[in-house]
Amino acid sequence: MSKRTLRILTLTLWVLFIGSAVSITALFYMVQNDTNGWFGGLPSLEDLEKPDPELSSELLSADGELLGKYYRHNRTPVSYDELSAQLVNTLLVTEDIRFKKHSGIDLKGLLRAVFGKLTFQFKGGGSTITMQLAENLYKTSSANRGTLYDYPSVGQIITKLKEWIIAIQLEKSYTKEEILAMYLNTVEYGSNSYGIQVAAQTFFNKKPSQLTYPEAAVLIGAINAPTRYSPILNPDKAMAKRTEVLYNLHKYGLVSRQEFDSLKQTDFGLEYKVENHNEGLAPYFRKVIARYLLQWTKEHGYDLYEDGLKIYTTIDSRLQTYAEQAMEEHMDTLQAQFNAHWGDDNPWIDEEGNEIVGFLDKAIKRTHHYKSLVKTYGEESDSVELILNRKRQMRVFTWDGEVDTLMSSYDSLKHYKRFLQAGFMAMDPQTGHIKAWVGGINHKYFKYDHVKQGKRQPGSTLKPIVYTAAIDNDFSPCYPVVDAPVTFPRPGQDPPTWTPDNASGRFTGEVMTIRQAMARSVNSITAFMMKQLKPETVVEYAKRLGIESHLDAVPALSLGAGGDVSLYELVAAYSTFVNKGVYTKPFYISRIEDQNGNVIQQFVPETREALNEETAYIMLHMLKGTTEEVGGTGMALDRELRVDNEIAAKTGTTQNASDGWFMGVTKDIAAGAWVGGDERSIHFKHWYLGQGARTAMPIWERFMKKVYADPTLGFTKGPFAKPVKPISIELDCEKYNNFSQPSDSVRMELIDEDEIM
């Protein structure tokens, strides 16, 4: 080559270089100062200095355990210090080996990429980790597109220019370590895992700090194509990609050839589990509280699903675990008894005990599936019934685990309607903190919450409110009453009177104290007290004790038949007795922090004085009768719980045993359980099999035994705290326990007198 030719070539190269530099500089300026809308905007300096990726909000227990998350993309950030060295090395050799040497733009890598495209020998992209981070954070290829993006090739160049500009700014604002962590936090890895923290947990049940080279190679290999290189969906491709990544570690001297040969022979070592809203502790609680949090975030200018809030709850993960275990253990056994009891017969029956005709036909019309079919085909179309009766593969819930089977929609509905449902809640009666919340038997298959969302007739669990009104109106626990019929007039109705029966179906004529009567849940004596007090008075006391649901001021309220209430309301009402008469609205959030740990709001419970301290203590004494008096409905509680302990409790069972309840209070915990069918017509044939002492009380019993067996909780047996002032009435009814029973003539006089009251 002649000197003249060499000079011309050198000059040409300099002209091209200077021209390119000037062009790129001009383009940089034009992109940054785009007043015509050709290029689309760039993030503001404030946005560049404080990037804001979508972050999952976390729900935490009182003892610091993660209960669950709220997210559109499941992402939890980690810092550089929480990354293993193997993970960092694997990322660098795969995505950007010169990351620590450049300032956001790798000219060597860029020229390699351009040359590869021109020669059709592509050997990797020119985007650095910082440029990829710019795309992840600010969506440079899809957001803020100007008019020049109508020309695809031009749009690609503009996108790269934007990424260069943003990358340079990121490198000025953050350390290399911070950029690496931010990048790993923003990447998608597949299986609804966004960010390395969630990915490590999803695929390997590990923290990012624990990831090894083979594990890191799987995750880093999936970055650019998480579906194609998924070890779950495409294991062969994922294995080949992992081998390629591991080879890069050898290529750049981080592992020897022998180590590479050994590592590539290992299997994936997966412990795969995708996070979802049905998994983890307290799924019903998480769903119910989400409604409140959505409203709160809307009012305070936050997004629950992407602002990375930390919501600290009052739930104790250990108590929640014991509550879920107690329910599962008992309901598994109870369902087996229910199934054996009914055999091949259907458990939906009317008041005469006959199967309800057309029950499933009516029930299926309330389902989303039916409504969707009607919307598609029309209500009169034969296609609706054909599809509902067509058998198909489905996975169904059983207490022995999920089962794959062939069922039609009608078969499935019948299968699920046969299950008994349940709810359980426990709270600290002094603070109002909810400690455990189990809204149902399985959140994946039964979404309806039976703690707060569900409301049913409370049965005899409402009787203590009748007796609270009595005590507060100068009746003594030792007040004697005859077990005899009590009749209420019903003007203008047919029949014109109402006389409630006892559960036994008979009246003994026995005289007993009202403590004994409440302990045995004698209907006639509660009705007698209702007649003295009037229904309006009882409704007033129910409201004092936190029953917000509507109650009818009718005589039947004495038996808990005047309206539906929630377990949430009843547990709070019973807590008032042990909290010295102060009602505390059940309380489930202690504070909310932003993603930087700043406290946004501290929450305090709502309280009010509902009863005086003496009345509250006397009611504890009354309720203790359930586990102390002969014939008390709580005497079946395990003796291990009752020894050296004071338990204030009440069972409850509604008509036909549609609902079974148990409320139990100790000095430290107030808790309650409800058990019943999905609909009121679903229940045991015989009342005594479905009574609360058999269906609901065992859940409370199992829970409390687990609680007392765990010394880390600090809950101990013992007596209720007595009021500071001496009790003004006599509580020892021993001398009244052997009432002289009235003669038949006197008994008839009492009954006759009662009927005309």
The torsion angles phi and psi of 664, rounded to 5 degrees, stand at: -135, 135
Q: Given this model, what pLDDT does residue 104 score? A: 81
Alpha carbon distances (Å) from 694 to 137, 375, 672: 57, 44, 14
| Residues whose CB is less than 8 angstroms from the CB of residue 162 and which lie 6 or more positions away in sequence, other chains included | 31, 39, 40, 42, 134, 138, 140
Task: Report how far residue 377's alpha carbon sits from residue 681's, in angstroms, rounded to the nearest whole number.
Answer: 31
Instruction: Count CA atoms within 13 Å of residue 628 on its CB side.
Output: 18
Strands (DSSP E) found in 510-634: 511-513, 582-584, 589-593, 599-602, 607-609
Q: Which domains does the chain have, with CATH numbers?
A: 368-408 (no CATH), 425-736 (3.40.710.10)
Angle at 322 between CA 321 and CA 325, to 5 degrees: 85
- Which pLDDT score is estimated for 131? 87
Distance in angstroms (rounded) separating the CA atoms of residues 504 and 753: 23
pLDDT of amino acid 692: 96
Is the Cβ–Cβ distance between 187 and 195 less than 8 Å?
Answer: yes
pLDDT of res. 747: 36
Say what the pLDDT of residue 134 is: 84
What does the pLDDT read at residue 144? Answer: 54
What are the tokens at 306? Answer: 């992407």
The pTM score is 0.82
Contact 529, 514 (CB under 8 A): yes
Q: Which segments in the chain show pLDDT lower than 70?
A: 1-52, 107-126, 139-159, 735-757
pLDDT at position 740, please? 43
**pLDDT score for 47:** 57
Question: Which strand (E) or helix (H) includes residue 318?
Answer: helix 317-342
Rounded CA-CA distance 256/511 in Å is 92
CA dist., res. 582 & res. 616, Å (int):
9
* Entry field: residues in the chain: 757
Is 595 within 8 Å of 308 (Cβ atoms)?
Answer: yes
In the numeric block, which tokens belong to residue 589?
Answer: 């959030």
According to DSSP, residue 502 is labeled P
Q: Give dist(CA 673, CA 662) in Å, integer.
A: 5
CB 643 within 8 A of CB 636: no
Q: Which of the 8 DSSP states describes residue 723?
A: P
CB of 290 within 8 A of CB of 309?
no
